[in-house]
Structure 1
Amino acid sequence: MEINLQNKKLELIQWLVTLEDSSIIQKILELRKKESKDWWDDLSENEKVSIEKGISDSKEGKLNTNSQAEKIYGKWL
């Protein structure tokens, strides 16, 4: 099965190299984009809010150094 899959991939690569039809290339790119999943979509709302807060805090300079974090959270590390 694995060899057959590899052969199919090679066939597709060879076909793509010779392809001149830009509309087909565009369709393939759209399919690729649609098939590639964004990890952000799998996060819960709480996780998204937490990440956004972290980014906001970072932009505002509200950061702790690694040594400060170790003092605060050391007992859990």
Structure 2
Amino acid sequence: MSIAEIKKTKSNLIAWIEQLSDSNMLMVLDGLRNAKSDKDWWSDLSEKQKQHINEGIDDAENGRVISSSEFWTKLKDA
């Protein structure tokens, strides 16, 4: 990513954050900002969460995936 692209992305993110009114999204973003990058998040997950992630990886590795557009169509129809 070029310096110009980085500046444009930052500007777009700032504009988007300024218009946010969803407190849950703001909390997620604040959590990301305050996250410690030197800690391995995997160890904080429950065994059930790890199992779900590993199942998703297995699905992807074995071709059991759908496109994002198909996902959103299915979600809207549900």
Normalised TM-score (structure 2):
0.47
Higher Cα Rg, which structure:
1
Q: Could you say which structure has the higher helix fraction?
A: 1
Normalised TM-score (structure 1):
0.47
